[in-house]
């Protein structure tokens, strides 16, 4: 198939998927959501021996009461053991991520066996101040439900694919965000991915049928989007009065599917692992998931998996 015919096929696939949404409406509502949450999504990088930035993942800024956190995928935080402290983009440049680290448990030290793959940093005052002007997601921005989704439903994923950015001078480096809109999938119908409905939210991601704000475009591989956000894109069809809530934290890309650990799991982990957060999250977070995890933990096989951030 020629490039021109492929682009036409991509456009037809897009128009079919969003037939009820005029193109101008689609653009407006994507841009409105990006404008709302953009500064809460931060790229993460490590510095090599030549002081060049190597972008490895994404993160979300979160606020629980007076506690500010940087949330990402645990396998992104694991990069610190190999490369040293991570740096986060701030409005003024870059700063080292300082604060108390917490991760979900990796059985026998094997992160691939961790179905949640969540990590976060309780930010110290210096890092918190450097990010003070950025948007921080709150409990009102999150969908804590662990119930089965009512389909059809649109999703919007946002992160910073590292393969868009070469090694750069820390003083001038700018990471480029990527968004993807796609249908939500039922985890129960994708058991081969090692996912479970109470824990994971899935979005269809077909590179060959992708469209950006200017038309059909085949995007790069989403390596580096781990730690970014997956939102319920309610406003796409229901209008701006419908609030888009965070469904989960992106942890993995497998072919035509983006996988996120659900926000309810994140809230439960914060409640259990962050001192002083239990009172704020007593009503918002789901019940303790540790026993539930032991009963239903999916078997994780990533021998052929593709993890954003590696």
Q: According to the 3-state scheme, what is the secondary structure of the chain? A: CCHHHHHHHHHHHHHHHCCCCCHHHHHHHHHHHHHHHHHHEEEEEEECCCCCEEEEEEEEEEEECCEEEEEEEHHHHCHHHHHCCCEEEECCEEEECCEEEEECCCHHHCHHHCCCCEEEEEECHHHHHHCCCCCCECHHHECCCCCCCCCCCEEEEEECCHHHCCCECCCCCCCCCEEEEEEEECHHHCHHHCCCCCCEEEEECCHHHCEECCEECCCCCCCCCCCCEEEECCHHHHCCCCCCEEEEEEEEEECCEEEEEEHHHHHHHHHHHCCCCHHHHCCCCCCCCHHHHHHHCCCCCCCCCECCCC
pLDDT, tens digit (0-9, with 9 covering 90-100), for 91-118: 888 899 999 999 988 888 889 889 899 9
Stated pTM of the model: 0.82
Distance from C-alpha of 177 to C-alpha of 3, rounded to nearest angstrom: 25
Residues of the chain with pLDDT under 70: 1-24, 26, 162-175, 208-219, 235, 237, 239-241, 283, 285, 287-310
Residue 172 is predicted with a pLDDT of: 54
Beta bridge partners of 257: 204, 254
Residue 241 is predicted with a pLDDT of: 65
Residue 170 is predicted with a pLDDT of: 56
Residue 306 is predicted with a pLDDT of: 43
Domains in the chain, please, with CATH?
3-290 (2.40.10.120)
Tokens of 102: 């917490």
Residue 6 is predicted with a pLDDT of: 47
Residue 293 is predicted with a pLDDT of: 42
């Amino acid at each position: 198939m020629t490039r021109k015919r492929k682009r036409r096929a991509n456009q037809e696939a897009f128009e079919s998927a969003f037939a009820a949404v005029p193109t101008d409406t689609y653009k407006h509502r994507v841009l409105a959501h990006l404008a709302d949450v953009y500064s809460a999504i931060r790229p993460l990088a490590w510095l090599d021996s030549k002081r060049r930035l190597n972008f490895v993942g994404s993160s979300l800024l979160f606020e629980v009461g007076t506690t500010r956190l940087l949330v990402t995928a645990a396998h992104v935080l694991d990069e610190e053991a190999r490369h040293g402290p991570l740096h986060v983009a701030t409005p003024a440049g870059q700063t080292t991520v300082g604060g108390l680290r917490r991760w979900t448990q990796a059985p026998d030290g094997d992160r691939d066996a961790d179905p949640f793959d969540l990590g976060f940093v309780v930010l110290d005052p210096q890092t918190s101040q450097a990010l003070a002007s950025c948007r921080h997601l709150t409990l009102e921005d999150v969908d804590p439900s662990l119930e089965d989704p009512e389909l059809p439903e649109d999703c919007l994923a946002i992160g910073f694919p590292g393969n868009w950015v070469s090694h750069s001078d820390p003083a001038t480096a700018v990471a480029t965000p990527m968004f993807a809109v796609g249908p939500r999938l039922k985890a129960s119908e994708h058991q081969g991915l090692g996912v479970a409905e109470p824990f994971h939210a899935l979005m269809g991601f077909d590179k060959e049928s992708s469209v950006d704000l200017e038309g059909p475009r085949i995007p790069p591989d989403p390596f580096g989007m781990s730690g970014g956000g997956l939102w319920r894109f309610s406003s796409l069809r229901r209008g701006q009065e419908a609030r888009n809530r965070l469904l989960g934290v992106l942890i993995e890309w497998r072919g035509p599917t983006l996988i996120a650990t659900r926000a309810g799991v994140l809230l439960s982990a914060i409640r259990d692992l962050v001192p002083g957060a239990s009172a704020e999250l007593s009503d918002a977070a789901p019940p303790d998931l540790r026993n539930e995890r032991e009963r239903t933990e999916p078997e994780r096989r990533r021998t052929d998996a593709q993890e954003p951030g590696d």
